[in-house]
Amino acid sequence: MHTLKLNINDSVYEKFLLFLNNFQKEEIEVVSDDIDFQSAKKYLNAELEEIKSGKAKFYTMEEAEIRLEKVIQKYENIT
Protein backbone atom coordinates (compact mmCIF):
# COMPACT_ATOMS: atom_id res chain seq x y z
CA MET A 1 0.00 0.00 0.00
CA HIS A 2 1.23 3.51 -0.82
CA THR A 3 0.97 6.61 1.34
CA LEU A 4 0.12 9.93 -0.28
CA LYS A 5 0.14 13.24 1.57
CA LEU A 6 -2.26 15.91 0.27
CA ASN A 7 -3.07 19.48 1.18
CA ILE A 8 -6.81 19.93 0.66
CA ASN A 9 -8.61 23.26 0.63
CA ASP A 10 -11.17 23.66 3.41
CA SER A 11 -13.91 24.33 0.87
CA VAL A 12 -13.68 20.81 -0.59
CA TYR A 13 -12.37 18.85 2.41
CA GLU A 14 -15.73 17.35 3.46
CA LYS A 15 -16.60 16.40 -0.13
CA PHE A 16 -13.20 14.78 -0.54
CA LEU A 17 -13.65 12.71 2.63
CA LEU A 18 -17.11 11.61 1.46
CA PHE A 19 -15.55 10.52 -1.83
CA LEU A 20 -12.84 8.53 -0.03
CA ASN A 21 -15.43 6.85 2.18
CA ASN A 22 -16.87 5.19 -0.94
CA PHE A 23 -13.85 2.87 -0.94
CA GLN A 24 -13.33 -0.16 1.29
CA LYS A 25 -10.82 0.28 4.14
CA GLU A 26 -8.64 -2.35 2.48
CA GLU A 27 -8.48 -0.11 -0.63
CA ILE A 28 -8.03 3.33 0.94
CA GLU A 29 -7.42 4.18 4.58
CA VAL A 30 -7.48 7.78 5.74
CA VAL A 31 -4.50 8.26 8.05
CA SER A 32 -4.00 11.38 10.11
CA ASP A 33 -0.48 12.75 9.99
CA ASP A 34 -0.55 14.75 13.20
CA ILE A 35 1.97 14.19 16.00
CA ASP A 36 -0.64 12.92 18.46
CA PHE A 37 -1.73 10.20 16.05
CA GLN A 38 1.83 9.10 15.33
CA SER A 39 2.83 8.99 19.00
CA ALA A 40 -0.37 7.11 19.94
CA LYS A 41 0.23 4.63 17.11
CA LYS A 42 3.82 4.05 18.25
CA TYR A 43 2.71 3.57 21.87
CA LEU A 44 -0.11 1.18 20.97
CA ASN A 45 2.11 -0.87 18.66
CA ALA A 46 4.64 -1.24 21.50
CA GLU A 47 1.85 -2.29 23.88
CA LEU A 48 0.56 -4.82 21.35
CA GLU A 49 4.03 -6.30 20.91
CA GLU A 50 4.36 -6.61 24.68
CA ILE A 51 1.06 -8.50 24.80
CA LYS A 52 2.00 -10.75 21.87
CA SER A 53 5.40 -11.54 23.39
CA GLY A 54 3.83 -12.58 26.70
CA LYS A 55 5.64 -9.86 28.68
CA ALA A 56 2.45 -7.90 29.52
CA LYS A 57 1.02 -8.20 33.02
CA PHE A 58 -2.74 -8.49 33.31
CA TYR A 59 -4.90 -7.86 36.37
CA THR A 60 -8.38 -9.01 37.31
CA MET A 61 -10.90 -6.28 38.07
CA GLU A 62 -10.52 -7.03 41.78
CA GLU A 63 -6.72 -6.74 41.60
CA ALA A 64 -6.98 -3.49 39.64
CA GLU A 65 -9.42 -2.01 42.17
CA ILE A 66 -7.09 -2.91 45.06
CA ARG A 67 -4.10 -1.34 43.31
CA LEU A 68 -6.10 1.77 42.47
CA GLU A 69 -7.34 2.11 46.04
CA LYS A 70 -3.76 1.93 47.34
CA VAL A 71 -2.70 4.73 44.98
CA ILE A 72 -5.67 6.86 45.98
CA GLN A 73 -4.93 6.36 49.67
CA LYS A 74 -1.31 7.28 49.11
CA TYR A 75 -2.15 10.63 47.53
CA GLU A 76 -5.51 11.66 49.03
CA ASN A 77 -4.03 13.51 52.02
CA ILE A 78 -1.41 15.39 50.00
CA THR A 79 -2.36 19.00 49.33
Q: In the prediction, which pLDDT does 3 show?
A: 85
Across the chain, mean pLDDT equals 90
Contact 56, 50 (CB under 8 A): yes
4 pLDDT higher than 70: yes
What's the pLDDT at 39? 86
Quickly count: other Cβ atoms within 10 Å of residue 8's Cβ: 11
Supply the pTM of this predicted model: 0.44
Q: Are 17 and 27 in contact (CB under 8 A)?
A: no
pLDDT digits (tens, 9 = 90+) for 17-41: 999 999 998 999 887 667 777 788 8
